[in-house]
Chains A and B, each alone.
Chain A
Amino acid sequence: MARYLVTGGAGFIGSHLCESFLSQGHEVLCMDNYSTGAKQNIGVFLKNPRFRFIDHNISRYIEVQEPLDYILHFASPASPVDYLELPIPTLKVGALGTHNTLGLAKAKSAVYLLASTSEVYGDPLVRPQTEEYWGNVNPIGPRGVYDEAKRFAEAMTMAYHRYHGLNTRIVRIFNTYGPRMRLHDGRVVPNFIMQALKGEPLTVYGQGEQTRSFQYVDDLVAGLNRLLAADHHLPVNIGNPHEMTVLEFAKKIIELTGSKSEIVYKPLPEDDPQVRQPDITKAKKILGWEPKVQLEEGLLKTIEYFRARLAEQKS
């Protein structure tokens, strides 16, 4: 049995990590300040004697008494609607939060995993993106608060690895969806599902011909488990390279929800991001990992979750 600290453990991805480690028989310390995380995401674990919740802002000094084997730093606002609302906390948790958790990992001789993002590639000039691509980021643009925080966090993690010999991992996570995503997260998957379930029209920008790729959260968690077990310190992309157009995606969600919603077209906003598509050659090679969950299967589970949450809200 090992002990894991998951920062942002009450968030969407963090809570799935807690669940995975608990189901493997390990102990989990979950640290979160519910800034964008939610109590209900970890409600089911609270009764588990191997689970402990610590209400703490990771950008402040962290103290943990017990030994730790793994530290996973997942705390951060991650959706554009959040980090545009919380620009300074976003920069702080990427910078100070990363520094604090790295210091803790050094003190505990724990394996450290940094949750980085495909956003480090910014508005990429190459496609698909391999880990060797340095990115194309505007440091002073509105999205820069998240992109640069994560780029700094990667630099800090590599510095701890190189200077202190810390056993580190960096994962660059691409678009991920699944249960425990927030209903008003603002991204296209929850948007479409909410609109479809409420019978409202699905909003597609432009002709809906821009493409997106999404990975189901179970695939990501599998990849992270594999990355923790691998001896690789450079960043690894984890995402699903399967692309579809936004319009195809909207139609799929209408079909799977059985909704009568129509699709409405609005003009394409100027900052609609260019396509990001992961090159996962490295993950395949080093981790023997690739996505397994079919889009339909993942969407059905996500829709089921959203439906249940909406029913709770009504009652």
Chain B
Amino acid sequence: MKIIVTGGAGFIGSNIVDAYLERDHEVHIFDDLSTGQRVNLNAKATLHELDIADRKAAHCIEQLKPDILCHHAAQMDVRHSVADPTFDARVNILGFINLLEAAKNAGVKKVIFASSGGAVYGEQEIFPAPEDHVTRPASPYGVSKRAGELYLSYYHQAFGLPYIALRYANVYGPRQSAKGEAGVVAIFLSLLLDGKTPVINGDGRQTRDYVFVGDVVAANVAALDAPFVGEINIGTGVETDVVTIFQHLRQAIGGAIDAQHGPAKPGEQRRSVIDAHRAAEVLGWRATVPLAEGLQRTSAWYRGASGR
């Protein structure tokens, strides 16, 4: 199949590109390299250095006429979305509509969309949250991701464009950047390797659902052929607190460092975990990499042991 992966130079996108190429698909990457890294680029893919909100990106889709649009380009920094909601909406909403219009015109067979479980549900009522859980995004980022899903639903109703929106849990793994507001795994690993003391916000008992990027990639592969249309949680259903993550990482690195506890972040969600039963049913997918192993593999990558 011919597949466009937007954000294909980024953390999750580039891992997906590698998997699609391994399965002999023709892969085109759309990335403006604003946060994506050239070193993540797979040489077998074609890079189109484009801003997804630009007309040129739409033209490019109309010319390529891909089978699949796998959309992972995004403004992905929650804090930045709060500081500059207009920018967040320009990239995550207007940029996406730009691509969807072109996808409709180009006869794309399916759109795979990177959504976010934690961000679209907001403060949860049910643990773990199933897909029909009420959505109350607590940040412009969550709003823009939810908006993306609603636009997909509209394009499906109005034009019969099939889609799968993958609502990711907290994704971690090789190639995650430690810059800006990234995942706690990348930030802690980077500090530990620098010999610095990570600071845990509050008591460190806040929980998240941590899913290894290799598992997320497998979901994107399964989504290519699954006949399902709609939202699917991609997580483990298991809650892990920050203190436990730190302990695993310290062990993986072999350090003696103790974390410091700083003040709790106001407004930070206490618990977040998503129910992945639908993924098992409609994608035949489940998370297979245990946390300890995933963190081990991630730390090996950060230490350069697995090469980049």
Contact = CB atoms under 8 A, between A and B. Distances in A.
A binds B: yes
B265 to A, nearest CB: 22
Contact of B195 (A1, A20, A232, A286): A20
A285 B308 contact: yes
Given A222-B195, A225-B193, A231 B305 contact: yes
B258 interface: yes
Contacts of B255: 24-25
A23 interface: yes
A288 B302 contact: yes
Nearest to A284: B39
Contacts of A24: 195, 197, 255-257
- Chain B contact residues: helix, strand, loop or mixed: loop
Majority DSSP secondary structure for residues of A touching B: helix
Nearest to B197: A23
Interface residues of B, number: 17
Contacts of A225: 193-195
Interface in B239-260: 253, 255-258
B39 A285 contact: yes
Nearest to B191: A222
Q: Determine the interface band of chain A, counting residues with CB < 8 A from chain B.
A: 20 to 34
A171 interface: no
A125 interface: no
A222 B196 contact: yes
Contacts of A226: 193-194, 303
A221 B195 contact: yes
Interface string A61-93: 000000000000000000000000000000000
Interface of B: 39, 190, 193-197, 253, 255-258, 302-305, 308
Given A287-B304, A288-B302, 13 more contacts: A20-B196, A24-B195, A25-B255, A222-B194, A222-B195, A222-B196, A225-B194, A226-B193, A229-B303, A232-B304, A285-B304, A288-B303, A289-B194
Task: List the 4 shortest-distance A-B pairs measured between CB atoms, nearest first.
Answer: A25-B256, A222-B194, A225-B195, A24-B257
13 contacts: A2-B256, A20-B195, A23-B197, A24-B255, A24-B257, A25-B256, A225-B193, A225-B194, A226-B303, A229-B303, A230-B305, A287-B304, A288-B190
Interface of A: 1-2, 20-21, 23-26, 221-222, 224-226, 229-232, 285-289
